[in-house]
Amino acid sequence: MNIQLANTLFDEGVFSAMFKAGFITVKVFTYREIYLWVQAQMKTRGISKRQAVLEAEIKFGKDERTIWRALNSFEDNN
């Protein structure tokens, strides 16, 4: 799923409705937050993706594999 689609579903409340109905877990929200944070750090601070991942580990209290998994889940796979 790409981030534009995820943002649309989030903005329209689809993710929230699916979460409340038990179809998805909180992981979708966490992964989206991680993805957006890493992208923002790269854009605003001009740091590498690798550096942003290392900082995200600390910020979100997740291991590096989880951060990369979050990033890969929203990359464009066209």
Q: How do residues 3-31 score in pLDDT, each as one tens digit?
A: 989 989 999 999 999 999 999 999 999 99
Distance of CA 55 to the CA centre of its chain: 14
Q: How do residues 31-59 score in pLDDT, each as one tens digit?
A: 999 999 999 999 999 999 999 999 999 99
Gap between the Cα atoms of 63 and 54, Å rounded:
9
Residue 37 tokens, joined: 């944070």
- Please work out, in degrees rounded to the nearest 5, the angle formed at the alpha carbon of residue 49 by the alpha carbons of 44 and 7: 70
Contact 28, 15 (CB under 8 A): yes
* pLDDT over threshold 80, residue 76: no
